[in-house]
Copies of this chain bind each other. A is one copy, B any other.
Amino acid sequence: MAFDPKALKFDDKGLIPAIAQDAETHEVLMMAWMNAESVAKTLETGKVTYWSRSRQSFWVKGESSGHVQELVDFRYDCDQDCILVLVKQKGPACHTNRRSCFYTAVRDGETVELMSPMG
């Protein structure tokens, strides 16, 4: 069946959450937001493109930092309200220079830092 980005369910701001997962290691790298146009751009260009809520503009991941996400597979969930992109991540995904944004754990009520910035 042909895919139409408009078949996805966007929230009242026209956005849908998108989870980026490393296609090889399966590490969850980050979560950001897309609108219908950034979904279309991601599929057309093969470069993962979010919608920046703070800047209110397209955010081609890595465009300024070089830490691009090359699309390997584009998936969405049973409710059509969340996207999972499997990616080839160049360098760190996180703006703190860590491989993943999910570097803080809560264990026995305390926060624990799981990874350091990449050298």
Partner of A43, one of B3, B19, B98, B106: B106
Does A96 reach chain B (CB closer than 8 Å)? yes
Q: Chain A: interface residue count, which band?
A: 35 or more
Say yes or no: A102 contacts B76, CB within 8 Å: yes
A82 interfacial contact with B, CB 8 Å: yes
Copies in the complex: 2
Tell me, in angstroms, the Cα distance from A7 to B6 when the chains sit together. Answer: 35
CB distance from A33 to the nearest CB of B (A): 10
Chain B residues with CB under 8 A of A36: none
Q: Contact residues of A with B, CB < 8 Å?
A: 1-3, 17, 19, 21, 25-28, 30-31, 43, 73-79, 82, 84, 94-96, 98, 101-107, 109-111, 114
